[in-house]
């Protein structure tokens, strides 16, 4: 029933009935599979992908690279737990390469993100350095194109 996961990833609003038809399975089989995936933590939640620019909602996002010193006995996990607890944090990944953790954060403004990094993230014991990259425009997110037909008013004036 791995195909159920793929279909839900593409469109979480599909009903059990629709998935059953698409997979030539019974609605009960699909419902049982989804319930099992949720109980096992394979499906962790359902969330809409929002184009905040089109909604007219002020929002800033950034990708922050962190170099950290792993803690004895817990490695990166303890620092990750601390970082995950911040409401601004959307995602957190352990990385290979030149930095250890990648953090995606959201706030109302770029200044709010700067304050978050300076006052809450950088002072964490074990954080050696941060590099903040502000996201200027999202073209595609979670495999969905956010490009619309609308023309930016600033482009019309040029």
| Per-residue pLDDT, 144 | 84
- Model pLDDT, residue 157: 53
Model pLDDT, residue 51: 86
Q: Which residue, among 61, 122, 128, 136, has the nearest Cα to 100 in the 3D structure? A: 128
pTM of the predicted model as reported, rounded to 2 decimal places: 0.80
Chain Cα centroid distance, residue 7? 19
Instruction: List, in sequence order, every residue forming a beta bridge with 154; answer none if it has no partner.
Output: none
pLDDT of residue 62: 98
CA distance 109 to 128: 25
Sheet holding 89-94, edge to edge: 89-94, 101-107, 60-68, 127-135
The residues of the chain scoring below 50 in pLDDT are 151, 158
Tell me how far apart the alpha carbons of residues 20 and 51 are, in angstroms, rounded to a whole number. Answer: 30
Q: Give CA–CA dist 89/110, Å, rounded.
A: 14
pLDDT at 48: 87
Local structure of residue 71 (DSSP, 8 states): B
In a 3-state reduction of DSSP, which class is residue 154?
helix
């Amino acid at each position: 029933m791995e195909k159920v996961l793929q279909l839900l990833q593409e469109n979480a609003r599909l009903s059990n009935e629709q998935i059953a038809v698409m997979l030539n399975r019974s609605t009960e089989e699909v419902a049982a599979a989804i319930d099992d995936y949720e109980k096992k933590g394979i499906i962790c939640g359902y969330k809409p992908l929002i184009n905040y620019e089109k909604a007219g909602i002020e929002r800033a996002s950034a990708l922050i690279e962190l170099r950290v010193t792993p803690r004895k006995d817990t490695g990166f996990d303890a620092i990750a737990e601390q970082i995950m607890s911040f409401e601004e944090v959307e995602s957190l990944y352990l990385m290979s390469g030149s930095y250890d953790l990648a953090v995606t954060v959201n706030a109302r403004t770029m200044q709010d993100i700067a304050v978050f990094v300076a006052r809450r993230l950088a002072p964490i014991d074990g954080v050696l350095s941060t590099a903040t990259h502000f996201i200027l425009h999202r073209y595609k997110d979670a495999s969905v194109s956010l490009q619309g037909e609308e023309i930016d008013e600033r482009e019309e004036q040029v």
